[in-house]
């Protein structure tokens, strides 16, 4: 049976404290709401499969806390989930989202260490994009006092993934070199910041050209994603690099392995190349799969190379790795408190703006993280520009009939 917050009821509200530059929590009034808003993915496919609807209010089970959500992280993986571009996709309809933050509103039994009113961030195995979530405390972490909800929503997945890959899989040490794709993205920026916590690490970043001015100071060398990065890296470092972080897959696997120094580590942690159009492309999937270098362990032995894979969500939700993740999170929170790392936020969107937010990441427009701000009102629609780029065969099912040729402008952080 959950313990309800006495004074934590109807809506938990927050205001931006402009002077302090961070959120002040203003908890008010009783709530016995039976419903809450959530983003729902009706089926795999294009943007038209997403909508905001009312769902039954969840209640925490043994070992779970109930969180009044303030903000959620939107990741490239959410785009792949929407398309059904993942292994063993779950059944739809579903509520997407793998991370959120907010205030603990009630606690069930066996939730030692957590209290009503705690400001927390959490990993979710789906269901994060909602006003209220319930989740086991194994996946919940207390936020530092000076961390804003926007920062918290941009923190967990990117920084934990980047930390575990760099320090636990690849053993990053002083003087090493790291190559990272999508360097301007949320994980890319977390990788760059974490590398800067180790002396004398050289970071080769690859990103779309228009991001270069904004992110050039976060890496040592920056290349256009359309350039021949093998040649560019070898001009600077003929022996190659110690670590390659590859979230693209396909032809990059072979290229990356060829760039590794002896005892270097290649980590595959994503398959962004599989995303081409708005919906899943079997051609892109097959091409990416076909282009992956078939790895021969004997060749690895002869060349002294390490090849690895990393999936944070599988580690957390399928492989019982929550203690490993907790230990990484503890170290990251120390770095945050020492002001050595700080999430880069691209833009904030209302739940109702989830399609536009997803379109932005699909269009490679983001620098840093996209956030769904649960308490943000949708920005008024602007006429004559459309981000609704349904592919042939996809019917737009948007209920608000006259919105087809309008778009919302993001709130850029």
Residue from 211, 206, 267 nearest 232 by CA? 206
Residue from 249, 244, 248 nearest 265 by CA? 244
Q: Should residue 366 be labelled a site residue for ligand NAP when binding is judged by CB under 6 A?
A: yes
- What count of other Cβ atoms lies within 10 Å of the Cβ of residue 118? 17
Q: Should residue 312 be labelled a site residue for ligand NAP when binding is judged by CB under 6 A?
A: yes
* Nearer to ligand NAP among residue 58 and residue 188 (C-beta): 188
* Nearer to ligand NAP among residue 227 and residue 383 (C-beta): 227
Q: Should residue 219 be labelled a site residue for ligand NAP when binding is judged by CB under 6 A?
A: no
CA distance linking residue 148 with residue 17, whole number of Å: 11
Sites for ligand NAP among residues 249-278 (CB under 6 A) = 269-270, 272-273, 275
CA distance linking residue 40 with residue 73, whole number of Å: 15
DSSP string, 270-281: --GGG--SSS--
Tell me 34's DSSP state: S
* Nearer to ligand NAP among residue 64 and residue 246 (C-beta): 246
Q: Should residue 291 be labelled a site residue for ligand NAP when binding is judged by CB under 6 A?
A: no
Residue from 407, 402, 401, 396 nearest 363 by CA? 407
Q: Which of 197, 311, 379, 387 binds ligand NAP (CB under 6 A)?
A: 311
Angle between helices 186-195 and 156-163 (to 10 degrees): 50
CB of 6 to ligand NAP, least distance (A): 38
Alpha helices in 260-363 (DSSP H): 282-291, 297-303, 312-317, 322-337, 354-362
- Contact string 144-183 vs ligand NAP (x = CB under 6 A): -------------xx--x--------------------x-
Residue nearest to ligand NAP (CB): 185
Partnered with residue 101 across adjacent β-strands are 71, 121
Sites for ligand NAP among residues 79-138 (CB under 6 A) = none
Q: Should residue 193 be labelled a site residue for ligand NAP when binding is judged by CB under 6 A?
A: no
Q: Is 45 left (phi over 0), alpha (psi -120 to 50) or beta?
A: left
Residue from 228, 272, 265 nearest 249 by CA? 272
Q: Should residue 359 be labelled a site residue for ligand NAP when binding is judged by CB under 6 A?
A: no
CB of 124 to ligand NAP, least distance (A): 14
Q: Should residue 281 be labelled a site residue for ligand NAP when binding is judged by CB under 6 A?
A: no
Q: Should residue 188 be labelled a site residue for ligand NAP when binding is judged by CB under 6 A?
A: yes
CB of 79 to ligand NAP, least distance (A): 8
Residues in the chain: 413
Size of the site for ligand NAP (CB under 6 A): 30
Chain residues that interact with ligand NAP, rule: CB under 6 A: 75-77, 157-158, 161, 182, 184-188, 207-208, 211, 225, 247-248, 269-270, 272-273, 275, 310-312, 361-362, 364, 366
């Amino acid at each position: 049976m959950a313990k309800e917050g006495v004074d934590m009821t109807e809506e938990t509200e927050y205001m931006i404290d402009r002077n302090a530059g961070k959120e002040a929590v203003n908890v008010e009034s009783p709530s016995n709401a039976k419903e809450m808003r959530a983003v729902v993915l009706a089926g795999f496919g294009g943007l038209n499969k997403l909508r905001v609807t009312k769902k039954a209010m969840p209640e925490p089970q043994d070992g779970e806390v109930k969180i009044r959500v303030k903000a959620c992280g939107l990741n490239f993986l959410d785009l792949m989930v929407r398309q059904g571009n993942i292994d063993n996709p779950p059944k739809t309809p579903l509520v997407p989202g793998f991370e959120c933050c907010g205030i603990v509103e009630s606690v069930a039994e066996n939730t030692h260490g957590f209290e009503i009113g705690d400001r927390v961030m959490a990993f979710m195995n789906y269901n994060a994009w909602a006003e209220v979530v319930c989740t086991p405390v194994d996946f919940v972490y207390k936020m530092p006092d000076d961390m804003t909800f926007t920062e918290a929503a941009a923190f967990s997945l990117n920084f934990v993934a980047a930390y575990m890959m760099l320090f636990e899989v690849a053993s990053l040490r002083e003087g090493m070199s790291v190559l990272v794709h999508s360097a301007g993205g949320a994980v890319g920026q977390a990788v760059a910041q974490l590398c800067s916590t180790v002396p004398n690490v050289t970071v080769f970043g690859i990103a779309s050209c228009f991001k270069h001015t904004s992110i050039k100071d976060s890496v040592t060398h920056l290349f256009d994603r359309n350039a021949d990065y093998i040649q560019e890296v070898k001009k600077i470092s003929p022996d190659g690099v110690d670590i390659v972080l590859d979230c693209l897959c396909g032809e990059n696997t072979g290229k990356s392995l060829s760039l590794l120094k002896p005892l270097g580590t290649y980590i595959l942690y994503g398959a962004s190349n599989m995303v081409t159009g708005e919906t899943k492309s079997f051609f892109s999937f097959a091409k990416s799969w076909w282009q992956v270098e078939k790895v021969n362990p004997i060749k690895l032995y002869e060349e002294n190379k390490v090849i690895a894979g990393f999936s944070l969500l599988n580690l957390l939700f399928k492989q019982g790795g929550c203690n490993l993740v907790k230990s990484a999170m503890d170290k990251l929170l120390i770095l945050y408190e020492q002001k050595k790392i700080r999430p880069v936020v691209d833009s904030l969107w209302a739940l109702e703006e989830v399609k536009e937010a997803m379109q932005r990441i699909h269009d490679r427009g983001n620098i840093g993280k996209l956030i769904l701000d649960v308490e943000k009102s949708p920005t008024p629609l602007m006429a004559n520009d459309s981000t609704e780029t349904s592919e042939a065969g996809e019917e737009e099912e948007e209920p608000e009939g006259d919105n087809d040729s309008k778009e919302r402008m993001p709130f850029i952080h």
